Amino acid sequence: MIVLISPDSTRSEQVRSEISHALGDRNYEGRIILVMIRPAEEVPWILNNLHMLRANSATQISKHVTGALKQEAVGA
């Protein structure tokens, strides 16, 4: 699951619900990728234990996500 973090997404009840579901589902264990696309002050506390990628452009985001997916594939 790739979660794009921005001020709007951190305020979204739908996004919070989906994150909560993924964190409680063993199928998502180690498979949640956080990408900060715009700085957000109110990131849900439950995400503080997860690594967050920071990106400033679409190219940077795709490189970060591709790299994280490759690491997951190697670890699987």
Per-position DSSP letters for the chain, written without gaps between them: -EEEE-HHHHH-HHHHHHHHHHHH-GGGTT--EEEESS--S---GGGGGS-EEE-SSHHHHHHHHHHHHHHHHHH-
Q: How confident is the model at residue 29 (pLDDT cuts 50, 70, 90)?
A: confident
Supply the pTM of this predicted model.
0.72
Mean pLDDT of 40-63: 80
Domain assignments of the chain as residue spans, ordered by start: 2-75
